[in-house]
Amino acid sequence: MKIAIGSDHAGFKLKEAIKKAFPDVEFVDVGASSEESTDYPDHIGALSRLVRQGGVERGIGICGTGIGASITANKFDGIRAALCLNVFMAEMSRRHNDANVLILGARVTGEQEAVAITRTWMETPFEGGRHQRRLDKITEIECGG
């Protein structure tokens, strides 16, 4: 799987840990490249564009709380970004919401838990059916409906 990954300074260390934990995944890293202060919309915007354009299958965005990253990613049509604080949320974000961007909060979720969340999110399929109907309604809203 090809995944775009990005963070601000607060998420930098966790971003590096996630890349290291999944050596078989092809990550496209859109920064940040250090813990020097940076603005999350720059990096989360970049990864959201990559997902929307189809250059990667999915994205992972990280900031301090995950809130700013979520707000940013969900501004993009076609992006379904899910801030996941535990493995259950990660599973449901895939099964019911077909989340194509996983958001983590580096200041609220420890590294071990974040790796478990990411693994579940990467491995869990979308259920489709009635959930697809609901996603179609979100798409209608994106189109001004």
Q: Which two tokens stand for residue 121?
A: 């999110």
Region of 50-58, 60-68, 109-117, 131-139 interacting with ligand RB5 (CB under 6 A)? 60-68
74 counts as binding ligand RB5 under rule CB under 6 A: no
- In DSSP terms, 4 is beta-bridged to 28, 59
Q: Is position 9 annotated as part of the catalytic site?
A: no
* Among 6, 8, 61, 79, contact with ligand RB5 (rule: CB under 6 A): 8
Report d(CA 82, CA 126) in Å as an integer.
14
Considering the complex, state which of residue 94 and residue 101 has its C-beta at the smaller distance from ligand RB5: 101
Does residue 65 belong to the site contacting ligand RB5 (CB under 6 A)? yes
Q: Is 84 a catalytic residue?
A: no
Cα(89)–Cα(81) distance, rounded to whole angstroms? 12
> 38 Cβ partners below 8 Å, 6+ apart?
8, 9, 31, 32
Q: How far is the CB of 68 from ligand RB5 (least distance, A)?
A: 3
AA identity, residue 118: T
Give the interface with ligand RB5 as residue ranges (CB under 6 A).
8, 10, 40, 63-65, 67-68
